[in-house]
Amino acid sequence: MQGKSVEKYSVPDRLRKLYAVMGKNWSDVATALIVSEPYIYAVLSGKKEFGPKPLHRLEQLEIERGIIKSPPTIELREGEDLRGEVDVWKRRAKNAEKELADLRDGLRSLLEQGSFRSGTVKRPASSKPVSELAEHERLLDAAEDKGRDS
């Protein structure tokens, strides 16, 4: 695990490695992570997952114990300003959020139109009159019912 990315290892594997390096007991590991011992056992068995705070504390302990290397830090030269970079990433996040909202709106619209049915996509509503679409829908239902009866 030395020097490798922690994402390659499961949290239970990382806990077992920490336990082996600390050479103590699970109670001491739990205390070091500021969680309860039963919580540790639940994570080890896969019944629970660590939240962001215990994960951060686990990573800090792994760094302190030499299990992993600390992530690289950014060193700023005198007068260097990263606000422009931050603005770029904020714009990208905002654009991604807008795209996601548009996708949700489109999906909601399709669902409201009844364009999805039984996990399959039907053709979107066309310029056909509503009565003709209702008749088409009725014929599809009848065909599905007949197929089930056979």
Tens-binned pLDDT, residue by residue, of the chain (150 aa): 544 445 578 999 999 999 999 887 999 999 999 999 999 999 999 999 999 999 999 999 999 888 888 776 667 677 667 777 777 778 888 888 888 888 888 888 877 777 655 555 555 555 555 566 667 677 777 766 666 665
Instruction: Judge whether 72 lies within some domain.
Output: no
Task: Look up the pTM and report it.
Answer: 0.45
Q: How many domains does the chain have?
A: 2
The two counts, helices (H) then strands (E), for the chain are 6, 2
Amino acid at 81: D
**Domain range holding 131?**
90-149
Residue 45 phi/psi, 5-degree rounding, is -85, -5
Tokens of 76: 């700023």
**Is residue 73 in some structural domain?**
no
**CATH code for the domain of 51:** 1.10.260.40
> Residue 117: which H helix or E strand, with range?
strand 116-117
Of 72, 69, 58, nearest to 17 by C-alpha is 58
- Whether residue 60 sits in one domain with residue 11: yes
